Amino acid sequence: MKSAEAQHVFRALADPTRRAIFEELVRKGERTVHALTANAGVSQPAVSKHLTVLKRAKLVGNRREGRENHYCARPEALAPAAAWMKDFGAFWNERFDRLEAVLEGMEK
């Protein structure tokens, strides 16, 4: 099922440091681990571990280039969580019917 993916996404987003890393990748685009560590407020190994969790949720991708590892955000991976909100967020359904079509496009 898709809810299995949603689990990884929700779990990944539950940590503020992880969200901050994801946010930086969304705003600034591709980033090396070194660059991310500078703003993360935690050690480099901690950043690496967070990136592993984000990658498991498919929220980030990486591109190895020599000794550098470039990570980028994959916001499409939010889709499972968004789909869950669609199904169980009555508020969402009421006011954002248009979203339905959007999410269907995402499924495939």
Partner DNA sequence: CCAAACCATAACCATACGGTTATGCGTTGT
Partner DNA sequence: ACAACGCATAACCGTATGGTTATGGTTTGG
The contact set with DNA (CB under 7 A) reads 11, 14-15, 17, 32-35, 37, 42-53, 62, 65-70
Q: Does residue 84 contact residue 6 with C-beta atoms inside 8 Å?
A: yes
Q: Of the candidates 64, 65, 66, 105, which one interacts with a second copy according to CB under 8 A?
A: 105
Phi, psi of 93 (to 5 degrees): -60, -50
What torsion do the CA atoms of 79, 57, 46, 15 make, to the nearest 10 degrees?
Answer: 50
105 interface partner picked from a second copy, DNA, none, CB below 5 to 8 A per type: a second copy
- 102: partner contacted, choices a second copy, DNA, none (Cβ within 5-8 A by kind): a second copy
Q: Site map for a second copy, 3-42, x if CB under 8 A?
A: ----x--xx-xx-x--x--xx--xx---------------
β-sheet with 68-73: strand ranges across? 31-32, 68-73, 60-65
Q: Restricting to residues 53-72, which ones interact with a second copy according to CB under 8 A?
A: none
Q: Of these partners, a second copy, DNA, none, which one is at the site of residue 30 (CB under 5 to 8 Å by kind)?
A: none
Window of 36-44, 48-56, 63-71, 78-86 that interacts with a second copy by CB under 8 A: 78-86
Q: How big is the CA angle at 60 (ends 85 and 36), to the nearest 5 degrees?
A: 120
- Name residues whose C-beta falls within 8 Å of residue 37's C-beta, 6 or more positions apart in sequence: 43, 44, 47
